[in-house]
Amino acid sequence: MAQEVAAAKVAEKPRRNTADYGYRASSVDDHGSEHVCIVGPSVDAIVVVSSINTAFGVMVASRSTGIILNNQMNDFSWPTTRDVHGFPPAKKNYIEGGKRPMPSLSPIIMVESSGGVLFLGTATGVANTASSLSQVLIRSLWIGHTVKQAIDAGRLHNQLIPENVVKYEKTTDSDVLHGLTKKGHHLSLEDWQGDVIALRYVGPGALYRGSYDFRTTDPGGLDGGQVPAG
C-alpha cells in the first residue's frame, strides 16, 4: 500500500520539490572504482567493490608497494562546505568518531526464499551508481531481459539537484523519452552513466549468465557468457 501511494504521488507529472522523491541529502560521489562478482562451487556469492574515491586518491603512492592511497575521508560531509561536486553537506554524513563515510558504492546480492543466489551485481559511475544498477536489476528480473540486454540498454538518471533534469543515454528507447517529455520532465543527453557488471542464475546445475558493460573500454569480465558456479 505504501508503495502504491508513493508511486501515485510521482507518476503523473514531475515534482518540483525534491523532498517528494525522498531526497534528504546529497549523495557522495566516488571515482577510480573496481568491482568483481564471484560465485563459488557451493554457490557462495561475493561482490567486492573497491575505490580510492576521487581521481588518484590523495595523490600519494606508498613507497614500499607503489599503491596509490585513497582519500576516503573526503567522502564525509563538512557542515559549512559543499563537496567537490557542488552538493550541499549531508547532516547524516557529518564526520564523527566511530563513523564511516557514506560512498555511492552499491553492491547487491539477491537471494531466493530457498536460499539460492539469484542475482549479483555492482556498478561504478559516481552518482549514477545506484540508478544504473537498479535499472539493470529491474530489466533482468522483472522485464525478462538477459543480463547482457539489461546492461546494454540505455539508462536514465535524475540527480534532483542542482537541476531536476532526467539525463539519458543516446541508446534509450525513444518511446520512453517521449513518455517522459509528455509528462513534463526535462531531458538532457549524457554520454556515459557508469558501468555495471552482473551475474544471474539461469538454470539447474548452478549455471550463471554474466556480462560486463560495453561502456567500459577495457573489461575484465564476460560478454554475456554462461559459466557454472566455481
**Is position 213 annotated in a ligand binding site?**
no
Question: 181 phi and psi, to 5 degrees?
Answer: -65, -40
Query: CB of 197 within 8 A of CB of 37?
Result: yes
Q: What is the 3-state composition of the chain as percent helix, strand, coil, each rounded to the nearest 5?
A: 25, 25, 50
Residue written as grid cell 586518491: 57
Class of residue 42 by CB neighbours under 10 A (exposed 0-12, middle 13-18, buried 19+)? exposed
CA separation for the pair 142, 106 (Å, rounded): 20
Per-residue burial over 71-101, b if 16 or more Cβ lie within 10 Å, else e, is bbebbbbeeeeebeeebebbeebeeeeeeeb
Q: Are strands 187-189 and 166-168 parallel, antiparallel or unpaired?
A: parallel
Query: CB of 15 within 8 A of CB of 205?
Result: no
Prior bond of 79 cis (ω within 30°): no
**Is position 75 annotated in a ligand binding site?**
yes
**Which 3 state secondary structure label does DSSP give 91?**
helix
Binding annotation: 51-53, 75
Binding residue positions for L-glutamate:
51-53, 75
